[in-house]
Amino acid sequence: MKLTTHQLSAAIAALLFTTLVPQSSFGQGKAHQKTLGTIERIDPAFDKLIPKDAQLEIIAAGFAWSEGPLWRKDDKGGYLLFSDIPRNTVFKWKEGQGVSVFLNPSGYTGSKFYGLEPGSNGLTLDPKGRLVSFEHGDRRVSVLTKNGGKRTLVDNYMGKRLNSPNDGCFKSNGDLYFTDPPYGLPKREHDARRELDFFGVYRLAKNGTLTLLTDEMTRPNGIAFSPDEKTLYVAQSDPKQAIWKTFPVKPDGTLGKSRIFHDVTKHVGTRPGLPDGLKTDKDGNVFASGPAGIYVFNTKGKLLGRIHTGERTANCGWGNDGTTLYVCAHNYMCRIKTTTKGAGW
């Protein structure tokens, strides 16, 4: 029997997930725990966010490239969803149960080979609690409907296909802000399938109108609002200018003039990774993946400390009761307890 591309992809994902290694839970003895990296405390304010005895705990391993951690609540406490981009799969991790395949394919439904990063990247929930995916291979933003089918929210700008939607966040009014770098294109910026001559940050209004907010960033990536939604943070994964920017959000939802929030270009090449995914906490502190781990900034861009993973670190996200930070560190999925709480929790 000849398998279709979709059947083969699903079979491979189902086989590969069995190699993932679920690790310990909070509260178990240290002899059974697996941890990663170190904690660097730069400013005393960091101690109010990360307990002095905190460790980055590995909860699962064996992924090709973990991304987009998203906590989804349910009547049994909730579970974590996250993308494995090369495997074109969204995995589910639940306390006491470990890892299972949640969605495959996750970002590419074509019939031909489509590079090494075809799957979904960032994941978020819309105001109705439905899963929204930023898909590399299908070059779209989609929503998973109640009965299991996907619906495309947007896949083009002014008739030209998006590059590869990467990450996004919803404003409280229902508008979706997202980034569109070239990373999902098989040959990235040099790919012949590319139709846009820039990499944009967009707003998809709840009425379906797509607005280009800025095309000034060379590699827009992670994106998040401040708790009051007056500031938009955007990471730039460009090794020549590895930065985070802030944009004031105008009353009409468009963006004002940007400024550089923090620059880590000097660390590129000496530490693994680049600015990528980010989240804010209830007080506006920024938790952002960057070279070698998670950088923690105050609202002024002052570096308070780092959670060093020693790995290329893709993203982070709040979970459980909002005080646990989940971290995607290359082929690991990790978590760390905090003494703060995620914005919106």
Residue 131 in tokens: 């899963």
Q: For residues 76-83, give the mean pLDDT.
A: 95
- Residue-level length of the chain: 345
Q: How far apart are CA 44 and CA 293, in angstroms?
A: 19
pLDDT of residue 8: 46
The per-residue pLDDT for range 92-109, each reduced to its tens digit, is: 999 999 999 999 999 999
**pTM of the shown model:** 0.91
Q: For residues 199-211, give the mean pLDDT.
A: 97
pLDDT of residue 339: 98
Banded pLDDT at 3 (limits 50, 70, 90): very low
pLDDT of residue 91: 98
CA distance to 35, 74, 247, 286, per residue, from 232 (Å): 32, 29, 5, 11
Q: For residues 305-332, give the mean pLDDT.
A: 97
Provide the CA 183 distance to its chain's centre, in angstroms: 13
Question: Could you tell me which of 98, 32, 49, 45 has the C-alpha nearest to residue 337?
Answer: 49
**Residue boundaries of the structural domains of the chain:** 5-337
Tokens 């998040």 correspond to 224
Residue 282 in tokens: 């209830």
Q: For residues 316-333, give the mean pLDDT.
A: 97
Q: For residues 315-333, give the mean pLDDT.
A: 97
pLDDT of residue 75: 85
Kindly state the DSSP code that residue 266 receives in the 8-state scheme: G
Residue 157 in tokens: 């700008």
Output phi, psi for 105, to 5 deg: -75, 155
Is pLDDT at 193 greater than 80 in this prediction? Answer: yes
Q: For residues 69-84, give the mean pLDDT.
A: 95
Q: How far apart are CA 345 and CA 76, in angstroms?
A: 18
The per-residue pLDDT for range 12-57, each reduced to its tens digit, is: 444 444 445 444 333 333 334 499 999 999 999 999 999 999 999 9
| CATH number assigned to the domain covering 5-337 | 2.120.10.30
The per-residue pLDDT for range 106-162, each reduced to its tens digit, is: 999 999 999 999 999 999 999 999 999 999 999 999 999 988 899 999 999 999 999
Give percent of the chain above pLDDT 70: 90
